[in-house]
Amino acid sequence: MSTTFQIDTATSRATPTPQPMKRLTVPKIQNRKADGETKEPLVMLTAYTARQAQLLDEHCDLLLVGDSLGQVIYGLPSTLQVTLDMMCAHGAAVVRGSYHSVVVVDMPFGAYEGSPQQAFESASRIMAETGCAAVKLEGGEAMAETISFLSQRGIPVMAHIGLTPQAVNALGGYGARGRSQEEHAKIISDGKAVQAAGAFAVVVEGVVEPIAVSLTQSLDIPVIGIGASAQCDGQVLVVDDMLGMFERVPRFVKKYGNLAEEITDKVQQYASEVRARSFPTEDQTYQPKS
Catalytic residue among 113, 183, 205, 209: 205
Please indicate if the annotation marks 68 as binding a ligand. yes
Contacts of 85 by beta carbon, 8 Å cutoff, 6+ apart: none
136 is an annotated ligand-binding site residue: yes
Give one DSSP letter per residue of the chain, joined into a string: --------TTT-SS-SPPPP-PPP-HHHHHHTEETTEESS-EEEEE--SHHHHHHHHTT-SEEEE-TTHHHHTT--SSGGG--HHHHHHHHHHHHHH-SSSEEEEEPPTTSSSS-HHHHHHHHHHHHHHH--SEEEEEBSGGGHHHHHHHHTTT--EEEEEES-GGGHHHHTSSPPB--SHHHHHHHHHHHHHHHHHT-SEEEEESB-HHHHHHHHHH-SS-EEEESS-TTSSEEEE-HHHHTT--S---TTPPP---HHHHHHHHHHHHHHHHHTT--S-GGGS-----
Cα–Cα distance measured from residue 133 to residue 137, given in angstroms and rounded to the nearest whole number: 14
Indicate if 113 belongs to the active site: no
> Residue 290 annotated as binding?
no
Asked if residue 289 belongs to a known ligand binding site, the reply is: no
Nearest Cα neighbor of 98 from 63, 135, 134 is 63
Binding residues for 3-methyl-2-oxobutanoate: 67-68, 106, 136
Binding residues for Mg(2+): 67, 106, 138
Catalytic residue positions? 205
